[in-house]
Structure 1
Amino acid sequence: MKGFILAFVASSALVVGCGEQPAQTQEIVDNLIQAGFPANDIQVVGETVYVGRDAEVSLEASREMLEAPTSEEQYRTTNLVGPAVTKICVNGAAFTGVFSTALNLAIQNYSERSLRFSMARTPSTGCSFTINANIDPNMNGGVAGFPANGLPFGSITIGGLLSQYGVDVIEHVITHELGHTIGFRHSDYYNRTISCGTGGNEGTAGVGAIHIPGTPTNAVVGGSIMNACFRSSETGEFTGSDVTALLAMYPRSGATLAFRTATGHFLVAENGGGSFVGADRLAISTWESFGYVDLNGGELLNNDLINLRAFNGQFVTAENGGGGVVNANRPVAQGWESFRLVNIEGRSRFQTGDRVALQASNGQYVVAENGGGGGYSGAVNADRPAVGAWETFVLFMQ
């Protein structure tokens, strides 16, 4: 069974009518059309404008959509939450029973990630912004909106009819709607039939959405919590590409790693990515700094699986999952781009100065040949069965 994230109250109420719209509503519609959204995907209920069936668009958000450069691939809105927002709180006073449990789990989906902002349920202290969570007893889905003026959208509405599915599906829909409030578009915006079985394109090649580097360009059923429609079998959890997208949009400040070899050289993504990984640099700069995605979520701990991202946004890969060279030229992180970060010091938490090893997906370890240095000594492979001096790196957390 599939469900639309926004339930239809009445089909005639969700289309732009022939009568004259209020000036503000009409400006929003005009801005969306200019931004690349097709007219048949823009829906008006009263004086409220929606796109993609569940995303409310304010006047400010529609104006901001006209200010960004165009992009051929789109998955997030041009409007994002600004750096002044460090803690997003969600007022779920209206949620009880299974809806309260699902709201807590949805907030946890965000709070356990190493993002630029934290998320908590009220009552809580230090809130930079509060999103009000409402329940519509006659709805079988959810409604939210996009950020504007550097702030998340101020409310989400969750359908009371979701109680028929259970906590995981409700968690899924709440997480989805919270995603809209911080700037996520539907992952299958370009072809809603992928998750809904019917529907068209929400808008192509406009400025209303931008592809997020490191995430797939093709949506699949169950591939993202941001698919337009949900299934009765949803787990409520982020997929790997969802986590990658979150960390690309809202990376925690200072979340980069550098690795020093046995000879004092540093691993480097040559040209900042798009080429091989070497081990012949004497200092840390942008090419020697790697962003990371902790695939387990939360704090980076011993034996966590991570993706390493070069300066240009491409991912580090152990070719064939290990047994050969290490490059930094993958646009999307999959199995070969996953490494286990091992703390040789034996501590659970990492700190600068720890000796670490990187284990490829086939179990072999990354090695700086000859301990690193110029020429062949600067080669980096992932073909060692055990950790020795050349497979040991000193970690720098920046």
Structure 2
Amino acid sequence: MILGKRDLLTGLRRHLVSADSLEIAVAWATPSPALMDVLKFARTAREKPRIIVGISDNITNPVALRQLSESCHLKVTKGERGIFHPKFYRFVNRDHSICWIGSANLTARGFSLNDEAIHEFIDDGSAKSWFDELWQSLPDDTSSAMDDYIKAWNPAELNWGHQAPTVGAPSHHPFHLIANGRVRDWPGYVAALKACDAYWLEQQSHFSVFGEARSYTNTIAAGNMLLGSRDWQKFSGQEISIIMGDDDPGGQTGYGLLGSMKGAAKAMSSFRKDDAVRTVIQNAILSLETSENLPADAAQALSTISDIERFKHGVATRLITLMRPDAAVSVNSQSIKGLATLSGLPKTALGTPRNYKRLLEWVAEQPWFDVPEPDDPEEKLIWTMRAALLDAFVYMYPDDDE
């Protein structure tokens, strides 16, 4: 059976429900809904998954490697003679094992954005033999190779990560795509985001909306994955930089999207060094994961974090948004004017808990917000971060553009 783009994420989830364990060998892995599903499975699986990931061409994301290494048996490789390039998935259970072989890497593009093809079949033993031989050919411990890759990782060197836009770029700032009630439904919101993507690419602003790297979707997926971790005390310095968006020279990593905390040096230092501060913030943020009244609960989290010395609404709302990108937005110096203009709320007080609650209530009232999860994988990805992506419309909204 051949699976196409629309089948992959739902197929992955279906097979993980009945699997006892999992084996994967892919060229690249990045933060994505598919990776999140694999990690969730790994935490409760009868056997730890065995995962092999390629570390060529700077494409595999360090966040993905760190998370996989904590939950799975992970090995990395550049390939023996050329680039390590397989895309292999084996779902192992007691009765039989189902295999996937095809074109999809464990990435957002592979499972949500690209056109891919996967051959699904029941393993006759040959797939197990192939994976076992590959696994045994690699050193038992490849952690030093992984650490070297992570230290040297530089997304500015990526030559891959975005396909050409499918729509033309608007001539004016993309705020006008969504202002004055122009977006009246979910298809309209998706179309506007694609035009927004084309605009930022044309501006040569070092980022896009949908790229595998240096993009809103990548920033949100990476931050959400990290904030969902249960032990924040184990974050590496690089992971803290991703969460806080402070390590973004010239906009090359894209992690400064949703508000770079580079200028909040004292708050950054406190977050890095003070375990008590990090614990207070973690408790406030994780409580939002299953919130059924996010506007009120997010306002409470904003109040709690803002009570910490040196932590202001920019830091707090960035973290809230990375935790709940489906329903929260980041309020910072580059987004506040656009958000205030859209919502009709006062710019000068938009970062207060009271008005932040009102802002999220306004978001929840938008005609593109309260819609069921789409079947299309690209739209499914957008749906999981539909509120946070408002930033792409309001970022750098010019003061003289009314």
Verify same fold: TM over 0.5.
no
Taking structure 1 as the reference length, what is the TM-score of the superposition?
Answer: 0.29
Q: Which is richer in strand?
A: 1
Taking structure 2 as the reference length, what is the TM-score of the superposition?
Answer: 0.29
Which one has a bigger Cα radius of gyration? 1
